[in-house]
Chain A
Amino acid sequence: MYDNAWPYPLEYDREEIINADVLVLGGGVAGCMAAIAAARAGQKVLLVEKGATKRSGAGGSGCDHWESAATNPCSKVTPEELTQAMLHDNDGFNNGISHYIECREGYDRLLDIEKMGGKIRDTEDEFVGADFRDDETKLMFAYDYENKFTLRIWGTTFKPAMHKELRRLGVQILDRVMVTSLLTEKGAQGGRCVGATGIHTRTGKFYIFNAKSSIICMSRPARVWLFSAELPGLCEFRPTQCIGDGHAMGWRAGAEFTMMEKSVRAEFSASGRSYPPYGAGNNHNTWYAASIIDSRGKEIPYADRDGNILNDVKDRFRPAKGQKFFMKGGGIDFPKYEIEGPETLSFSKMMEEGYKLPFYADLTTLPEEERRVIWGMMVGQEGKTNVPIYRNYTKEGFDPAKHVLQCYGTGWTSASFLPQERQLFGLPGGFFNDWTLSTNIQGLYVAGDALYASDCYGHAAATGYYAGRHAAKYALSNDLLQWDRQQVDKEKVRVYAPLKNDPHSSIGWKELNMAIAKTMQNYCGEVKYDDLLKVGLVRLKEYEENIIPQTFAYNPHELVRLLEVFDILTVSQIIIEASLARKISVDALYFKRGDAIEDESSKDKLIVIKQHEGEIIKREVSVDFFGDLKENYEKYNQDYIRGDRS
């Protein structure tokens, strides 16, 4: 317990106004790349980040592989092929626009990051001659070594390099400020975005940001169903403070969302269940394609999609006979036959055949360079692995040539979760976007994790840069509009209200988050029923109206944690509203109805929802609303294409 006086000056109610052309909200991977693009387009850019931009965001500590770099010189697949595969794999419930941007521009961003000082190739020749390395370009690949579209990268170097570039370009970086709301023209919901408000996480000072265009680069929501009051930092996969503030303020401002009814049974990092990501035995992502053995040392075979046993380790990196390419990684959980890659036999099969639990990941028998690239590069460069896994395990004596690492749970998830313990994971819902990555709110753009069906690092970087370009274009042709005093004053009352309560009879952020999580588990669990969802909504409304006025925070840090939980409450409402709007079960959305009606008309439709003055407004859009990928991309990006060529 910290019992000293608060060490920072308290500046509650004090205002600072900052103007810019382009306002970037969030300093993770997407935010940094958005700010870089807008600054390069000659705009005055302000980037606001709740943590510390140099290492903030889900990808701040690192990243070991970059997916879908279809335009790299060694790739044998096209951006169109890859995006179509991603769409097909999810029965169309995927973001064709953002993933096409990822496939088409991802490699451009890698080259950019390399110029900034990030390491994207084996310049030290540590892996010369390895099957996964192209000796001419020194690029290194993961998964499918024949088609070479996923790159292994030294991602611990990336965020500091971006941070340096931001400073070089003169971007104004404001760290330790939580963005709390969007400002709209005349304060009207759904009106043009004219900026945002923020609160300093250490001093409590209030900020008013006024800009011609703004870009939401904040995280997907978290801690909606999962919460531990003792270890809130270990509740979810994303960083503690990344809980979906952007979604909440977007909803309040009248932005449209889609796929928010999608949630999956938790996979990663819930307190008390999951073991450290990439730190327990498994054979996915970072650890592909480790061997898995049972507790007698017997190896569990890999098989191709047709069930043919693969005896040679090299076959784990090749497509099956007759298959053009296979896909693995962030958004691929249960792949369709077309893209299904090599995999160890299923857990149930292993049990049938008498394999003995627990299982272990075994690198000892892999070819030396495969062992070295998993343990030392992938584990080491991937987020949250450099210190807590690679350095610590090594210090404690783990030797990948000698030791085997225990698996927990029944597969790569490193844990077993209950059906009602849910997460927004595996291409979750988010802001609805058009071909410029604009939202329905004029002047408001969106990138990275805030987009619907987002996934990983390359997606964040590519969409960030793209949104930055288009927001810059908007700023060039639109004037700076005045913000609305009344809207700001209302927001100030909202954010400071908890400071005025009595701590002895009030409710803190943890108590409220715990109550929301339990409510969501109970009323919006794995199987949805209209009756339960409606009661859940009533409970959340009660929290909003009766409990929020009873909350308290001791200092600016706690106040920010509490404002985050208010946002979690808003996000929970969006999820229930979206669930109510979807009347039938949809496998691709992991959306199960216990009371489905017999009307299949919305089967291939995205349900797009927003709220206006308390009313929910919904519309249905065909999942492939974005039209021809290449044609539309080229229609909206001629300047980029020309610049790219010159």
Chain B
Amino acid sequence: MKEMPAANPIIFDKSKCIGCNRCMEICQVDIFLPNPEKGKPPIVAYPGECWYCGCCVMECPVEGAIELQHPLMNRVHWIEKRLLIEQGNE
């Protein structure tokens, strides 16, 4: 039995992650646990506790191996100003 979490803050690219655990060691909230399989990405054991600071990504030695994303409800909207004005004049 599994349950989807309210948010998936951390996404690993398994093909890029070298399993160095630096993200895990820098996280001040300690949301990660080491993967039982050596060399594999850490496990995001406590996704709800993520503070979304991004230090795990800043610490990662491989570009693109780890990404942080805000939960859907926190994704904001932007628009080209030109389109906004066009829509406003319709």
Known A-B contacts A297-B84, A398-B78; A276 and B70 likewise in contact (beta carbons under 8 Å): yes
**Residues A296 and B85 in contact, CB atoms below 8 Å apart:** yes
**Residues A241 and B29 in contact, CB atoms below 8 Å apart:** yes
Q: Which of A51, A61, A295, A392 contacts B88 (CB 8 A)?
A: A295
**Residues B27 and A52 in contact, CB atoms below 8 Å apart:** yes
Query: B33-73: contact bitstring with A at CB < 8 Å (1 yes, 0 no)?
Result: 11010000001011011111111011100000001111101
Indicate whether A55 reaches chain B with its CB closer than 8 angstroms: yes
Cα–Cα distance between A197 and B68 once the two chains are bound (Å) = 34
**Residues A296 and B88 in contact, CB atoms below 8 Å apart:** yes
Indicate whether A490 reaches chain B with its CB closer than 8 angstroms: no
**Residues B73 and A233 in contact, CB atoms below 8 Å apart:** no
**Residues A52 and B25 in contact, CB atoms below 8 Å apart:** yes
Cα–Cα distance between A384 and B69 once the two chains are bound (Å) = 12
**Residues B48 and A406 in contact, CB atoms below 8 Å apart:** no
Q: Which of B33, B52, B84, B88 contacts A276 (CB 8 A)?
A: B52
Task: List, in ascending order, chain A residues with CB within 8 A of B88's CB.
Answer: 295-297, 356
Which residue of chain A has the shortest Cβ distance to B36 in the bound complex? A4
Known A-B contacts A56-B28, A239-B51, A276-B70; A61 and B81 likewise in contact (beta carbons under 8 Å): no
Total interface residues in chain B, CB < 8 Å = 49
Which residue of chain B has the shortest Cβ distance to A28 in the bound complex? B28
**Residues B78 and A51 in contact, CB atoms below 8 Å apart:** no
**Residues B76 and A405 in contact, CB atoms below 8 Å apart:** yes
Instruction: Give min CB distance, B16 to chain A, whole Å.
Output: 15
Q: Which of B53, B57, B84 contacts A295 (CB 8 A)?
A: B84
**Residues A403 and B78 in contact, CB atoms below 8 Å apart:** yes
Query: A447-474: contact bitstring with B at CB < 8 Å (1 yes, 0 no)?
Result: 0000000000000000000000000000
**Residues A384 and B26 in contact, CB atoms below 8 Å apart:** no
Chain A 202-238 interface residues, beta-carbon cutoff 8 Å to B: 202, 229-234
**Residues B81 and A362 in contact, CB atoms below 8 Å apart:** yes
Query: A228-256: contact bitstring with B at CB < 8 Å (1 yes, 0 no)?
Result: 01111110000111000000000000000
Indicate whether B74 reaches chain A with its CB closer than 8 angstroms: yes
Indicate whether A523 reaches chain B with its CB closer than 8 angstroms: no
Indicate whether A149 reaches chain B with its CB closer than 8 angstroms: no
Task: List, in ascending order, chain A residues with CB within 8 A of B34's CB.
Answer: 7
Q: Which of B5, B48, B53 contacts A384 (CB 8 A)?
A: B53
Query: A571-606: contact bitstring with B at CB < 8 Å (1 yes, 0 no)?
Result: 000000000000000000000000000000000000
Which residue of chain A has the shortest Cβ distance to B45 in the bound complex? A2
**Residues B55 and A7 in contact, CB atoms below 8 Å apart:** no
Q: Contact size class for A?
A: 35 or more
Instruction: Give min CB distance, B40 to chain A, whole Å.
Output: 12
Instruction: Give min CB distance, B68 to chain A, whole Å.
Output: 5
Indicate whether A73 reaches chain B with its CB closer than 8 angstroms: no
Cα–Cα distance between A276 and B55 once the two chains are bound (Å) = 16
Q: Which of B5, B45, B52 contacts A388 (CB 8 A)?
A: B52
Indicate whether A535 reaches chain B with its CB closer than 8 angstroms: no
**Residues B29 and A51 in contact, CB atoms below 8 Å apart:** yes
Indicate whether A107 reaches chain B with its CB closer than 8 angstroms: no
Which residue of chain B has the shortest Cβ distance to A55 in the bound complex? B55
Which residue of chain A has the shortest Cβ distance to B53 in the bound complex? A61
Cα–Cα distance between A54 and B34 once the two chains are bound (Å) = 19
Instruction: Give min CB distance, A596 to chain B, whole Å.
Output: 39
Known A-B contacts A239-B29, A276-B70, A392-B69; A404 and B54 likewise in contact (beta carbons under 8 Å): no
Query: B73-90: contact bitstring with A at CB < 8 Å (1 yes, 0 no)?
Result: 110111111101101110
**Residues A231 and B27 in contact, CB atoms below 8 Å apart:** no
**Residues B76 and A364 in contact, CB atoms below 8 Å apart:** no
Task: List, in ascending order, chain A residues with CB within 8 A of B33's CB.
Answer: 2, 4, 7
Known A-B contacts A231-B7, A403-B80; A201 and B30 likewise in contact (beta carbons under 8 Å): yes
Query: A1-35: contact bitstring with B at CB < 8 Å (1 yes, 0 no)?
Result: 11010010000000000000000000000000000
Instruction: Give min CB distance, A269 to chain B, whole Å.
Output: 9
Indicate whether A96 reaches chain B with its CB closer than 8 angstroms: no
**Residues A406 and B54 in contact, CB atoms below 8 Å apart:** no
**Residues B29 and A233 in contact, CB atoms below 8 Å apart:** yes
Known A-B contacts A231-B6, A386-B54; A55 and B76 likewise in contact (beta carbons under 8 Å): no
Indicate whether A433 reaches chain B with its CB closer than 8 angstroms: no
**Residues A57 and B28 in contact, CB atoms below 8 Å apart:** yes
Cα–Cα distance between A32 and B73 once the two chains are bound (Å) = 35
Indicate whether A360 reaches chain B with its CB closer than 8 angstroms: yes
Determine which residue in B48, B67, B69, B76 has the highest number of CB atoms from chain A within 10 A of its CB, and name it. B76
**Residues A387 and B48 in contact, CB atoms below 8 Å apart:** no
Indicate whether A279 reaches chain B with its CB closer than 8 angstroms: yes
Task: List, in ascending order, chain B residues with CB within 8 A of A295's CB.
Answer: 84, 87-88
**Residues A406 and B77 in contact, CB atoms below 8 Å apart:** yes
Task: List, in ascending order, chain B residues with CB within 8 A of A388's CB.
Answer: 52-54, 68-70
**Residues B84 and A404 in contact, CB atoms below 8 Å apart:** yes
Indicate whether A611 reaches chain B with its CB closer than 8 angstroms: no
Known A-B contacts A295-B88, A297-B81, A406-B77; A557 and B48 likewise in contact (beta carbons under 8 Å): no
**Residues B51 and A233 in contact, CB atoms below 8 Å apart:** yes
Determine which residue in B3, B27, B77, B78 has the highest number of CB atoms from chain A within 10 A of its CB, and name it. B78
**Residues A51 and B28 in contact, CB atoms below 8 Å apart:** yes
Tell me the A residues contacting B by CB distance below 8 Å: 1-2, 4, 7, 50-52, 54-57, 60-61, 156, 176, 201-202, 229-234, 239-241, 272, 275-276, 279-281, 293, 295-297, 356, 360, 362, 364, 383-384, 386-388, 391-393, 398, 402-406, 408, 557, 561
List 7 contacting pairs A-B, 8 Å CB cutoff, sorted by A. A233-B52, A279-B76, A295-B87, A296-B84, A386-B58, A404-B78, A405-B78
Closest 4 CB pairs of A and B: A387-B54, A51-B28, A296-B88, A230-B6
Q: Assuming A356-B88, A403-B79, what are 18 further A-B pairs, CB within 8 angstroms?
A: A51-B27, A52-B27, A54-B26, A55-B26, A231-B6, A233-B31, A233-B50, A240-B29, A275-B74, A296-B89, A384-B54, A387-B57, A402-B80, A402-B82, A403-B80, A404-B78, A405-B76, A406-B79
